[in-house]
Amino acid sequence: MPATDDIPGFKLGQEVLAPASHGCGFRVAKGERFQIVDVRGQQVGDLIAFRADDPSEYFSPAHTVTQNWRVTLKPNDVLASNRRNDLMRIVEDTVGYHDIVVPCCDPEAYLKRYGLHDHRSCKVNLEEGLESIGLDWPVHGERAWNIFMKNRIDPDGKIVYLEPTHGPGSSITLEALDDLVCALSACPQDQTLTNGPECTEMLVRIWTPE
C-alpha cells in the first residue's frame, strides 16, 4: 500500500530525504503528523526522538514496551520517553512489522562482526542527521526504533533476522504529542538481507493541521 497522499485536516508542510545509507534530521511540532516512507521498498529506517526543549528526555524503546505491554506495536500505541511521557502515537502503519529490541548498528558492530573498518552505520547517520539541523546531541544505539525491520523471536528466545517483504511507498504515520527533534537513518546494513538486496533512500513527510 502506498504512502498517504492526503491526510484530511492536514496539509503537507515539509519533506526531508534520508539518502541511501545516510541520515536526516527534522523537527516536528505538537499536533503535527509525520510519515516515514520507504521509497523503493524493503528498507529499514532507524528513528530517534527527543523533546525539543530538553535533550535529556528522549524516546525509549524499553519504556515504550512497558507502556504498551508488548513488543509488537500497532496503530494507537504510543512511543514513550525515558520519563514515561508519551511522545508520539502511531496513527497508520501499512507494514505492520518493526523491531524494538535490537540497538541500531554502529561502527563497532561492523568491525566486530565483519572485520569492516569505516563502514556506514545508523549511529553515525543519526549523529549526522542531528548535525544537519544544528544539534550536537548524544546518540545511543539502544534508543533507536528499527522501523520496517523484520525479525522473529523463536521459542528459545533467539532473534532471527528476516528479509523485509514490504514494497515501494510503504509507510508509517506518527502523531507528535510534544514538540520533538528527530533523526532518521536509512540503514546501511549490506552484509545481510536486513534491507533486501540493496540499501535505498527514505522520505519523511511532515503534515501540519489546517
pLDDT tens across 75-107, in order?
A: 999 999 999 999 999 999 999 999 999 999 999
Q: How far apart are CA 171 and CA 112, in angstroms?
A: 32
Nearest to 192 by CA among 44, 85, 33: 44
pLDDT at 93: 98
Check if the beta carbon of residue 26 is closer than 8 Å to that of residue 16. Answer: yes
Tell me 155's DSSP state.
Answer: T
In a domain, 127, yes or no: yes
Is residue 142 a part of any domain in this protein?
Answer: yes
Cα four-point dihedral sign 111, 71, 54, 134: positive
Map grid coordinates 504498551 to a residue: 68
pLDDT digits (tens, 9 = 90+) for 10-51: 999 999 999 999 999 999 999 999 999 999 999 999 999 999
Decide if 9 is inside a domain: no
What is the per-residue pLDDT across 99-124, written as a single tens digit (0 to 9) for each? Answer: 999 999 999 999 999 999 999 999 99
**Res. 2: pLDDT tops 70:** no
Q: SS3 helix, strand, coil % of the chain, rounded to 5? A: 15, 40, 50
Range of the domain at 110: 30-184
Supply 90's cell numbers. Answer: 502511531
Which residue type sits at 179?
D
Residues pairing with 45 in the sheet: 147, 186
Place of cell 502515537: 89
Q: Does 6 reside within a domain?
A: no
- Give pLDDT, residue 1: 41
In a domain, 205, yes or no: no
For residue 83, being part of any structural domain is answered with yes
Residue 86 falls within a domain, yes or no? Answer: yes
Specify if 114 maps to a domain.
yes
> Virtual CA dihedral for 128, 132, 138, 143, nearest 10 degrees?
-70
Q: In the chain, how many H helices and how many E strands?
A: 3, 14
Q: How many domains does the chain have?
A: 1
